[in-house]
Amino acid sequence: MAGHQHADGEAHDHTAGASARQITIALLLTTAFLVAEVVGGFVFNGLALLSDAAHMFTDVVALAIALAAIRIGQKPADDRRTFGYRRFEVLAAAFNAILLFGVAFYVLYEGVKRFTDPEPVQSLGMLLVASAGLAVNLISMRILSAGKDKSLNVKGAYLEVWADMLGSVGVIGAAVAMMLTGWRWIDPVVAIGIGFWVLPRTWVLLRNTTHVLLEGAPRGTDVVEVRAALSAIDGVTSLHDLHVWITGADEPSATVHAVVREGVDADGVRTAIKRLLEEQFGVHHSTIQIEPTSADAGGLHR
């Protein structure tokens, strides 16, 4: 089995600690404003504001997932969870996606209903709350920007906040437009727009998490290409039980049984397979079993 260890474990701990601090600050800011935005949405009767609050809820969940992934992901594997705890992030993200679908459909339903039965909206209150939300988004983006190129978790959180910033801009635009024109239908239009904007992102999130939970191959990895490259290694006559998957959000792994010609250096073939998986396909966690030609009685297995 090919192991993979980090010689710079202490540096990774420092990076994780810094990322956790950044995410914690952004999480506290976003959570505090989420409460204010939900209250403001009900007080001022602004559906667009509630829709944006639903989107900001995705930020809170995403930040919480990122923080939990850092904390829990540092726990070592044990005899009960031999792959470790990285998949916690995937499970939480899948739950987030399912919940978001419900929120988005509710907003769409309410938006359509308000076209036929419009309700008064306090546009000035909407404007003030959404403006405060925009400020919180900008502050959170500033905090997260320092670590977004060093951590996938921080980068994902940064993109969530960036997307929510655009939602706040939409609510501000709706509030200003209603103040100038008095057209109440602008509120449900913006709410529906935010709902339709959230749905595709939610679908992508659910699709990606489902792919990981089904132990699918990493995005961008063609298993046919992997099989061909490994089969071309000198001494390999056939392969079977080739599996390439991701145990967490960004941890590709592979297992393969390679049948080799008689007299071939098995350790040399194993090293060549390991090096190819790492250098060409970015797979640093692999289990490689070498078998003699007699084991290939059934031909090529897949």
Structural domain contains residue 302: no
Domain termination residue (choose one: 167, 195, 213): 213
CATH number of the domain within which 74 lies: 1.20.1510.10
Contact 10, 25 (CB under 8 A): no
CATH number of the domain within which 258 lies: 3.30.300.30
Domain termination residue (choose one: 165, 186, 213): 213
Q: CB neighbours of 269 closer than 8 A, spacing ≥ 6?
A: 233, 234, 235, 236, 258, 260, 290
Q: CB neighbours of 235 closer than 8 A, spacing ≥ 6?
A: 260, 261, 264, 265, 268, 269
Whether residue 156 sits in one domain with residue 96: yes
pLDDT for residue 13: 45
pLDDT for residue 233: 94
259 - beta bridge partners?
238, 291
Domain termination residue (choose one: 213, 235, 263): 213
Structural domain contains residue 159: yes
Structural domain contains residue 2: no
- Asked whether the CA dihedral 282, 284, 287, 293 is positive or negative, the reply is positive
Interior/surface letters 9-37, b for 16+ CB within 10 angstroms, e for the rest: eeeeeebbeebbebbeebbebbbebbeeb
Structural domain contains residue 4: no
pLDDT for residue 302: 42
pLDDT for residue 152: 52
Whether residue 260 sits in one domain with residue 132: no
Number of domains in the chain: 2
Q: Which domain holds residue 99?
A: 9-213
Provide the residue-wise pLDDT of the chain in tens; the chain has 302 residues: 343 433 344 444 444 555 677 788 888 888 888 887 788 778 877 766 676 677 678 778 778 877 887 777 777 878 888 777 777 767 777 777 777 777 778 777 877 877 777 666 677 877 887 788 888 888 888 887 876 666 555 666 676 777 677 777 877 888 888 888 878 788 788 778 877 877 887 787 788 878 888 888 888 889 999 999 999 999 999 999 999 998 765 678 899 999 999 888 999 999 999 999 999 998 988 999 999 886 444 444 44
pLDDT for residue 260: 92
What CA–CA distance (Å, rounded) separates 164 from 37?
13
Whether residue 196 sits in one domain with residue 48: yes
Whether residue 236 sits in one domain with residue 208: no
Structural domain contains residue 1: no
- Which helix (H) or strand (E) segment holds residue 236: the answer is strand 236-246
pTM of the model: 0.67
Q: Which amino acid is at 152?
A: L
Whether residue 247 sits in one domain with residue 201: no
Residue of 293, 16, 10 lying closest to 154 (CA atoms): 16
Whether residue 152 sits in one domain with residue 48: yes
CB atoms within 10 A of CB 113: 13
